[in-house]
């Protein structure tokens, strides 16, 4: 199933700003740690663009990873404390692998990291180490960095795995809910043109990764799932090796919901990143 134009037009919606990267001639780059003195965390400039962000709550089962590039699902985790890294790795990683394998029909799912985010209004969301909700439209992987993640993380098996279909899928869920503050919006991958995706260096202490910054296009279609609880999750596709018309890259960003009450609890969430393999 997927969202057609008649369904999209019927969905409730909010009007909100999303931060896009201004096109630039220089290679875009961000630091994943405190850069040297006098060096800014990023050399990009953001511009706020107003969009209608539609709520998929009435049709939550319809969006698909291969269609729109994202999907919503329900899942009751056995994790008691998402702030306990050992428990997250021991309990949540296997849960997530099984959940994504069931959702995609993959032959293997490899969870390779996780990030918790807690909104602190006085912190700079562009400083990666602050772990704030990411309020910049982006995609975590690119056509180059997707395969490179496989080579980096599973070097002995990479050649064989890359001969088959490979996806990189994020699993995002609230730690507390319902989420009213800084919910996650996801862009319909079908509405994104290749020219909208701008490769950007993500500089770590020991390597340079690559993500997509995203430039504004009024054709983009944006969605969110209102009032998410810890028993709900979003799957977001950040890389797809197949080039047969299915969704490959789904931009996403946190946003300020204008209908949220001023005393809404600050958002707390956890996202897992996974390599998803299918036999050739």
Over residues 27-40, the pLDDT tens digits come to 999 998 888 898 99
- Taking only the tens place, the pLDDT of each residue in 214-242 is 999 999 999 999 999 999 999 999 999 99
Stretch 141-167: mean pLDDT, rounded?
Answer: 97
> Quick check: bond before 232 cis, omega within 30?
no
Stretch 130-156: mean pLDDT, rounded?
Answer: 94
Contact 53, 223 (CB under 8 A): yes
Which stretch of DSSP H or E encloses residue 268? Answer: strand 268-278
Q: Is the pLDDT of residue 280 over 80?
A: no
Q: Is the pLDDT of residue 124 over 80?
A: no
What sign does the CA torsion over 88, 92, 94, 96 have? Answer: negative
| Pick from 110-124, 159-173, 215-229, 236-250: least confident | 110-124
- Taking only the tens place, the pLDDT of each residue in 261-278 is 999 999 999 999 999 999
Distance CA 75, CA 62 (A): 17
Q: Is the pLDDT of residue 127 over 60?
A: no
Distance CA 169, CA 150 (A): 13
Number of H helices, E strands in the chain: 5, 14
Distance CA 92, CA 117 (A): 16
The pLDDT assigned to 132 comes to 85
Q: Is the pLDDT of residue 20 over 90?
A: yes
| Pick from 129-143, 197-211, 214-228: least confident | 129-143
The pLDDT assigned to 136 comes to 96
Residue of 131, 140, 150 whose CA lies nearest to 270: 131
Q: Is the pLDDT of residue 123 over 80?
A: no
- Taking only the tens place, the pLDDT of each residue in 44-61 is 999 999 999 999 999 999
Reduce the DSSP state of residue 83 to 3 states and report it.
coil
The pLDDT assigned to 130 comes to 54
At residue 171's C-alpha, the angle toward residues 166 and 174, to 5°, is: 175
Q: What are phi and psi of 129, to 5 degrees?
A: -70, -15
**Residue 187, strand partner residues:** 222
Length of the chain: 280
The pLDDT assigned to 3 comes to 92
Helices (H), the chain: 5-10, 85-87, 93-104, 145-153, 158-162
Stretch 167-184: mean pLDDT, rounded?
Answer: 97
Q: Is the pLDDT of residue 128 over 60?
A: no
For the chain, which domains are there?
5-278 (2.60.120)
The pLDDT assigned to 129 comes to 52
Please state the pTM of the whole predicted model: 0.95
Distance CA 111, CA 46 (A): 31
């Amino acid at each position: 199933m997927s969202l057609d134009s008649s369904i999209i037009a019927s969905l409730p919606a909010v009007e909100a700003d999303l931060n896009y990267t201004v096109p630039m001639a220089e290679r875009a780059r961000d630091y994943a740690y405190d850069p040297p003195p006098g060096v800014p965390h990023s050399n990009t400039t953001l511009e706020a663009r107003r969009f209608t962000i539609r709520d998929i709550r009435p049709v939550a089962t319809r969006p698909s990873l291969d269609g729109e590039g994202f999907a919503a699902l329900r899942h009751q985790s056995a994790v008691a404390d998402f702030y306990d890294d050992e428990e997250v790795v021991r309990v949540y990683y296997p849960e997530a692998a099984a959940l994504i394998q069931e959702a995609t029909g993959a032959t293997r799912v490899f969870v390779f990291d996780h990030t918790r985010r807690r909104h602190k209004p006085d912190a700079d969301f562009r400083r990666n180490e602050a772990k704030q909700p990411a309020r910049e439209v982006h995609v975590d992987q690119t056509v180059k960095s997707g395969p490179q993640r496989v080579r980096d993380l599973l070097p002995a098996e990479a050649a064989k795995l890359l001969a088959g279909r490979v996806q990189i899928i994020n699993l995002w869920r609230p730690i507390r809910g319902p989420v009213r503050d800084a919910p996650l919006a996801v862009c319909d991958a079908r509405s994104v043109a290749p020219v909208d995706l701008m490769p950007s260096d993500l500089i770590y202490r020991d390597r340079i990764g690559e993500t997509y910054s995203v430039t504004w296009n009024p054709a983009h279609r944006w969605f969110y799932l209102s009032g998410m609880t810890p028993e709900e999750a979003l799957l977001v596709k950040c890389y797809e090796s197949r080039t047969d018309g299915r969704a490959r890259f789904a931009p996403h960003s946190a946003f300020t919901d204008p209908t949220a009450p001023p005393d809404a609890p600050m958002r707390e969430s956890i996202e897992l990143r996974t390599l998803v393999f299918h036999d050739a």
